[in-house]
Amino acid sequence: MLKLVVPAGIAAVLCFVPAWAQDDDAIVVTATRFPDSRRDLPVGVTLISAQDIRSSASSNLAEILAQHGLLHVRDNSGSPNQQLDLRGFGITGSENTLVLVDGVRLSENELVAPQLAAIPLESIERIEILRGSGAVLYGGGASGGTVNIITRAGRPGEARGYALGRAGGYGSREYRAGFSRQGEALGLTLAFSDEDTAGYRRNNRYQQLNLSGALEARGGPGRAWLRFGVDDQHQGLPGALSEAQIAADPRQTLNPSDYGERNGGQVTLGGALKAGRHEFSADLAYRRKHADALLFNGTFFVDTRVEYWSLTPRARLGFDALGRAHELVLGADLDRWDYGTASAGSPQAIAAPFSRRLGEQTNRALYAQLNFWVASATRLVLGARAQRSEDRLEERVFPLDERRAARSLRAYEAALRQRLGGGWSGYAKAGRSFRVANFDDNACFFPPCAASLLEPQTARAGELGVELERGGLRARLAVYEIRLENEIYFSPLTFSTLNLSPTRRRGAELEAAWRAGETLELRASLALQRARFRSGVYGGVDVGGNTVPLVPEALATVGASWRFAAASRVNASLRYVGGQRYDNDQANSFPREMPDYALLDAKLEHRIGRVHVALEARNLFDKRYYSYGIRNFAGTSFSAFPAPGRALYLSLAWRLE
C-alpha cells in the first residue's frame, strides 16, 4: 500500500483548487503518431500550451515542464539542461523519459540530459506528455513516459511575428524573435533566441544561441516539410559543494576554470499524404553534436562527437468492422548512432589522449497499433513492437577492448477506455517496455572490462485511471505499478554500472483543471510515488526493500491565472518537491534525507496593443534548496548543487498574431 505524506497546506489546496486544461478536441500527435483526440485516448495525457509557456515566469523549458507537467527536474551539473524524471526513476530519469521534437528523438544515447535549451520557447506550439507510454511507437527509453514537443506550424494565409527582450536577475539578458508566413502552397517559419546570464554561482555563466526554422509545401492531399535548427552553448561548471561549504557561501565555486561547450545541428525532411481515409507519412532526420568539457578543476578534458540518423515511415489505415470505423497504424523505425569520445589531461593534450572510445548502435524496428471501437463508448488499443538492436563499443589506448551485441527486443501495450456517462470515463492499460544501455553505461575505464555489454532493461507496467470532463472542469486520477528486470543503474556499492536485481515503481497521480470564469483559470496536480529495490546484494549489502535514491515521495503543483483588468493578468505557480534519499545511499544507511522544498513563481503582464510588458519573479520567497545531493563515501555528510535564490526579470514583447 502506498503511504506517502504531503504537507497539509498543499493537500488542502489540491483538494479544493482544480485547474484549467486545453479544449477537449486538442490534438495529441504522440498517441498514435497521427492526429488524435485526447478525449478518446486510454492513456493519461498532459498538455502544456503555448500560452502556458508564455505565461510562465521562467525561460527554462525544464522548469516549465515541472510547473505544468507533473514531473521532477533535477540539476546535477549546474546546467540549464536539467534531468527529467517521469514516475520516479531517480538518477536514471532522463534515460527512462523519452523526449521527442515533432516525433523525432531528442534524447541522447549518453548519460546526459536532452538539449532542451536548444529549442526556442516561442517556436513551441504545445507539449504532450504521455505517462508510461511510447515504447510501442518510439522504442527504448520510454518506461516512465514520453514528452513530445510540437513546434509551431503556419496555417494557410497566416502571418505571425514576435520580438522579445528580457533582462533581470544574475546579470541575465535574453532576446527572442521569430516570423512565420504561410501561403496556400508555400510557408516559412524562423525562430531565433540568444540568452546570456552570469548565473547564480561564480563560474556559472551560461550563453545559448539558437536558430530554427521550417519550410513547408502544400498541394492537394499532400504536404512536405524541411525542419532545421542549429545551436551553440557555453557554460561555466561551478561543481558541487560540501554541506559546510554551502552553509558558508552557496554561491562559491571550487572549480573556477571548469566549463562545458556544445554546438549542434539537426535537419528533418518529411512528408505526408492523405488518400481517402488513409494517411501516409515519413521523416528522414539527421542530428549531430560536438561537445567538450574541462572538469575536476581543470585536470580532465573530454571531447565528444555524435551523429544520429533516423528514418520513420508510417501509415494509418482506416477500415470498417462491426458497423464502426477503426484504424490501424503501421510503421518502421530505422536509426543509427555513431559516437566518439576522447579524454586527456588538458585541451592541448587531446591529440594524444589517454582514453578514446568509439561506439555504434543500429536499431531496426517494426510496429503496429490497432485502434478499435468495440462500442460507441468503448475504445480498445492494441500495439506491439519488434526491434533488432546491434551495438559495438571499442576502447582504444587504455584499456584495449571491443565488445559487440545483437539483441531482439519486444514492446507491447493493451489499453481500454470506457465512457461512463455524465462526463466520466475510465481507462486501463498494461504494457511492456525496454531500455538498451547507452554508450556511457557500457564504458570501461579500467581493466578488466566486463565480458559483455549490459543486458537490456525490461519493464512491465499496469495502470488504472478515471477522468471527468464536465463544463470547464477536467480531472484525472490514476494509479500505476512498474516492475523492472535488469534495470540499468550505476551502483556506488560496486562502483560500476550493472543490471540490477528486480526493482519496482508504484504511484498515484491526480491532475485537475477548472476554468472558474472568463477571467480566472486554476490548475493543480499531485503525484505520490515510491521506488523500491525488490531484491539484490551489492558490495555485501542487501538492498532488498530499500528505497531507490533521488525519488521524491511527493510532487505537487498549484497554479492560477487571473485577468484582473481587460489588458492585465497575473499568473502564479507553486511547486512542491518532497523528501528523497541522497544519491549514493542505496544502502539507506544515511540518517538524513534531502530536504523537501516549495517554490513560488509569479508573473504580472500588461498589454498595450501589440506590446506586452511583464514583470517576473522566480523563487519569490528566496528558498534555499538543491534538487540534487550525493552522500559522501564516508557516510558522514553530503555534497550538492545549490539552486538559485530569488530573481526578478522585466520583459518587453511585440507580437503580430
* Domain boundaries of the chain, sorted by first residue: 18-656
Question: d(Cα 585, Cα 583) in Å, to the nearest integer?
Answer: 5
Cα–Cα distance for residue pair 579/367, rounded to 1 Å: 40
How large is the average pLDDT for residues 593-616?
96
pLDDT at residue 153, rounded to an integer: 77
pLDDT of residue 31: 67
The answer to whether residue 539 scores a pLDDT higher than 80 is yes
* Residue 14, pLDDT score: 37
Predicted confidence at residue 462, as pLDDT, reads 96
**Looking at 31-40, 43-52, 442-451, which range is the least confident one?**
31-40
Scored b (16 or more CB within 10 A) or e, 301-324 reads bbbbebebebebebbbeeeeeeee
Q: Which three cell numbers mark 331?
A: 510503421
Q: Is the pLDDT of residue 22 over 90?
A: no
Residue 152's pLDDT band (cuts 50, 70, 90): confident
Distance in angstroms (rounded) separating the CA atoms of residues 135 and 578: 29
The CA distance from 46 to 70, in Å, is 8
pLDDT computed for residue 37 by the predictor: 65
- Does the pLDDT of residue 18 top 70, yes or no? no
Is CATH 3.30.70.360 the right assignment for the domain spanning 18-656? no
CB 340 within 8 A of CB 360: no
pTM > 0.85: yes
Mean of all residue pLDDT scores within the chain: 91
Residues 6+ apart with CB under 8 A from 451: none
Residue 143 has pLDDT above 80, yes or no: yes
